[in-house]
Homo-oligomer: A and B are copies of this chain.
Amino acid sequence: MQRITPQNLRTPGPTPIPDDIVEAMTNPMINHRGPEFGEMIHKATEQLKQVFMTKNDLFILTASGTGALEASIVNTLSPGDRVIAATAGAFGDRFVDMVEAYGADVKRMDFEWGGPIDADAIRKALNDDPSVKAVLVTHNETSTGVTHPVEDISKVVKGEFGKLFLVDAVSSLGCIPLPVDAWNCDMVGTASQKGFMIPPGLSFISVSEEAWEAQKTAKMPRFYFDLTMAKRYLETGQTPFTPNLSAMYGLSRALDVLLEEGMENVFGRHATIGQFTRDGAKELGLELLVSDNAYASNTVTAIKVPEGVDQKALLGKMRTEHNVVLAGGQGRMSSDIFRIGHLGAVAKEDITEVMDALKVVLPEVGFKA
């Protein structure tokens, strides 16, 4: 294959990989059942717990983020279990589809795309239906650029009702605060290609004591994503199935870098660049999908395609003429918005470059400020 020219890759994952992490990934293969791997996975697991802010068990899976979310479902639930799945975007929808695929009895709660999931509505639903066993929510809805109020939702789900609480944190963990223990989240899944600055291919999942309790009677079938097996193997410094070693090397380096910077600083950096992106878009006369800044995501910003603008032409010109890769919308919003990712290894200069290019391209594709 021909060498790929680096782009200003502003999709909300995969994100650009810093050179030292790329270098780490070129380490030679080792025996994944040998002592070097044991040392590596133990250290990475402990470091990941710091990023998750949890004392819970935590596992590294060789799969995309969706795999970790599937693990959260199949390890805690049985077919026929009543669950609430709240959605306000394409990834919320995916979580619904997933738990339905495994035979749960799903009460789907739809919230406006671009707005937050409402904790009060969930309280009402839980009051109405005591048979609910678990509540599923997305922390950061990548498709709309909304950070849902997981802390508030947890106060209801865990604090008031004591239900199982499963959280999709694929595009937030390591970028936006999600203190797993403080917020009492039972299962939290995320992936490698976002805040962790490494390629896609690994996902991470934390498991609370209550989740393990649920696992004892959970009857959804599982093998590749069976966390009992993962736990047994991890005790001997292994994974049940051959792990993605190159990504593990990258992860080891990335975790050193993140923890050296300090998670508070990492979160602060994301907050700053998120605001910088939203301000920049508004200065260009663009309208954000998320009207309430309190819920605006600090990892991805969705912008409404302005009246008269050809979204495909916009994204095409940004890519081919300015080397800037933006994302379109997803699901039912595919052509209504475009999105700018600003997570992981991203500098203000990258965002300035995006805004400068938008300034040139927008008028060329029908934009009248």
Contacts and interface: CB of A to CB of B under 8 A. Distances in A.
Max count, chain B CB within 10 A of own CB: residue among A14, A26, A66: A14
A92 interface: no
Contacts of A98: 223
B62 A223 contact: no
A221 B223 contact: no
Interface residues of A, number: 68
Nearest to A9: B29
A262 B86 CA distance: 52
Contacts of A15: 29
Interface in A88-102: 97-98, 101-102
Interface in A11-57: 11, 13-17, 22, 24-34, 36, 40
A7 interface: yes
Contacts of A218: none
Interface stretch (A119-127, A172-180, A236-244, A356-364): A236-244
B14 A64 contact: no
Nearest to A253: B1
Count the copies. Answer: 2
A221 B33 CA distance: 31
A30 B200 contact: no
Contact of A222 (B29, B63, B101, B200): B101
Contacts of A97: 223
A199 B9 contact: no
Interface string A195-233: 000011100000000000000000011111110000000
A251 to B, nearest CB: 9
B24 A1 contact: yes
A201 B246 contact: yes
A28 B7 contact: yes
Contacts of A244: 64, 199-201, 244, 247
A327 interface: yes
B34 A325 contact: yes
A114 interface: no
Nearest to A3: B27
Nearest to A30: B4
Given A66-B223, A201-B247, A221-B103, A9 B28 contact: yes
A66 B224 contact: yes
Given A7-B28, A31-B325, A201-B247, 9 more contacts: A13-B242, A14-B245, A30-B325, A64-B242, A65-B242, A66-B240, A98-B223, A199-B245, A201-B244
